[in-house]
Amino acid sequence: MSTENEDNLEHRHGADAPAGSIREVAKISWPIVVGMLSYTAMGVADTLFVGWVGKTELAAVGLATTAIFLLNSLFMGTLHGTKVLSSQATGKGRPEEAKMAGWLGSLLAIPFGLIVAVLALFGGPIFAVLGGPPEVQALAQEYFGVRALGAVFWYVTIAYCDYFQGTGNTRTPMKINLVANAVNIALDPLLIFGLGPIPAMGVSGAALATIIAQATGMLIATVLFVGRAGLVRKPDWKVANKLMRLGFPMGVRATLGVGAFTAFTALLARMGEDQLAAHQIALKIISISFLPGYGLSETATILTGQYVGARRFEAARRAFRSVLFVAVGVMGTCGVAFFALGEHLVAVFNTDPTVVRLGTRLLYVATLFQVFDAIAMVATGALNGIGDTKFTMWTGIACSWFVMVPASYFFGVALEGGAVGAWLGLTVEIVVVAAITLVRFNRTSWHEVVVE
């Protein structure tokens, strides 16, 4: 890495703070966390408005959201290779390679999104497999059929935002997310409940609000990216190969991980509407900690990618420790809040006594895994940043399918623990992933995994 580029890195992250310090982590991570919190606010608003319509609609949207993430996960995970590649290219002093990664990510996003839109035609068989009461399946298919049409908008935005974040510019994606999520929240009540000439569309209205918000985000992201990177005339296929080598294992891991979580949700769906509704509410509540934790995981990816690209391995390790410290603090504090305020938080979404009781117990379980989840997410993000994406792929697949699924079935069905038992199985998986990824990061020979 050139001295000039090293100086640029120090200036961007703060020359008055040691490389990889908590201060540097805070500077990079706070816009990501704010963006994640805005996404949380959007999800909470969706759940709140739909929950006011009824618990059947709430269960349906939860089921449909799981199916959407299952179909999106391969493409989204692959596109996240843009972030890893642009961060490493930035550390190596290759800004044009980082820009090319952004362009190639956006080009891949178009066919990826069209594939998901076509798969929306097969909603019936998908939800027949997932299970649940017939009325829940019908509404889930309705929501899914509309929501899948916005995949192209979402994917293009992801590619451009990953480019900006990989170069250390985390504020621009934050602003894009804030605007898009604000649009979604504003449109939700209008399209769900109707107003004046606007008819009440129920769950379809919630899905349409999300599509409009995603299109808004894509438009803003495209204008900003083209203004910075210009127009590409000829794709660099060498860079495309790097992007796929880094991104595809992340996509496979995400797909099979979400597939396992889909099996987990299907297990809950067969336990009844109350169990599924409580699960959906609890998931939305713990996203208050999960999404900032995920944002800090992305910070670990950015900083370790940049410093490993620059061959500054000790700075990368210091950055990992700093991110981990912050993540454990944030998620641990949230766990205490879930334990203390669980019943009141659940009651905001739905006042059905059975749903409130079950949701509160699920939040008690969530308290148990908060710190371990922080470790698992940050260590996985750091391993992705250094390019060790194949290891995170195999770890994610093995733990989700051979730990979470059987453990959830054992505690939830065999021992008749219901949703609470299933969540205990989820806790076991999180603890195992945390242990494996932490050991791997501390023992990795990093020069062997950096993609040149």
Handedness of CA 337, 341, 344, 346 (dihedral sign): positive
Total structural domains within the chain: 1
**Helix, strand or coil for residue 404?**
helix
Q: What is the pLDDT of residue 13?
A: 46
Please answer whether residues 283 and 303 qualify as being in contact, where contact means their C-beta atoms are separated by less than 8 angstroms.
no
Domain that holds residue 189: 3-448
Is residue 422 over pLDDT 90? yes
Q: What is the pLDDT of residue 350?
A: 79
Question: Confidence class of residue 2 from pLDDT cuts 50, 70 and 90?
Answer: very low
Least confident of 116-120, 213-217, 320-324, 396-400: 116-120
Q: What is the pLDDT of residue 110?
A: 93
pLDDT per residue as tens digits for the range 72-86: 888 989 999 999 999
The C-alpha atoms of residue 65 and residue 276 are separated, in whole angstroms, by 13
- If you average pLDDT over residues 241-259, what whole number do you get? 88
Is residue 418 over pLDDT 70? yes
Select from 300, 236, 299 the least CA-distant residue to 99. 236
Please answer whether residues 419 and 278 qualify as being in contact, where contact means their C-beta atoms are separated by less than 8 angstroms.
yes
C-alpha dist (Å) from residue 58 to 151, 163, 260, 262, 450? 22, 35, 22, 17, 44
Is residue 6 over pLDDT 60? no
Q: What is the pLDDT of residue 15?
A: 47
Is residue 103 over pLDDT 80? yes
The C-alpha atoms of residue 212 and residue 262 are separated, in whole angstroms, by 26
pLDDT per residue as tens digits for the range 364-375: 999 999 999 999
Residues 6+ apart with CB under 8 A from 190: 198, 205, 209
What does 147-186 look like in DSSP terms, one character per residue?
HGGGHHHHHHHHHHHHHHHHTT--HHHHHHHHHHHHHHHH
Q: Which two tokens stand for residue 346?
A: 């659940």
pLDDT per residue as tens digits for the range 145-188: 888 888 899 999 999 999 999 999 999 999 998 999 889 888 98
pLDDT per residue as tens digits for the range 265-296: 778 878 887 888 888 889 888 887 887 888 89
Please answer whether residues 186 and 213 qualify as being in contact, where contact means their C-beta atoms are separated by less than 8 angstroms.
no
- If you average pLDDT over residues 397-415, what whole number do you get? 92
Q: What is the pLDDT of residue 4?
A: 40
Is residue 431 over pLDDT 90? yes
pTM for the full predicted model: 0.80
Select from 318, 299, 313 the least CA-distant residue to 27. 299
- If you average pLDDT over residues 310-337, what whole number do you get? 92
The C-alpha atoms of residue 12 and residue 412 are separated, in whole angstroms, by 49
- Per-residue burial over 131-169, b if 16 or more Cβ lie within 10 Å, else e, is bbbeebbebbbbbbbbbbbbbbbbbbbbbbbbbbbbbbb
Average pLDDT, the chain: 85
Question: Confidence class of residue 449 from pLDDT cuts 50, 70 and 90?
Answer: low
Bridge partner residues of 195 (DSSP): 198
Select from 369, 350, 370 the least CA-distant residue to 278. 350
Residues 6+ apart with CB under 8 A from 302: 28, 83, 87, 165, 166, 168, 170, 385
The owner of tokens 């001295």 is: 3
**Helix, strand or coil for residue 385?**
helix
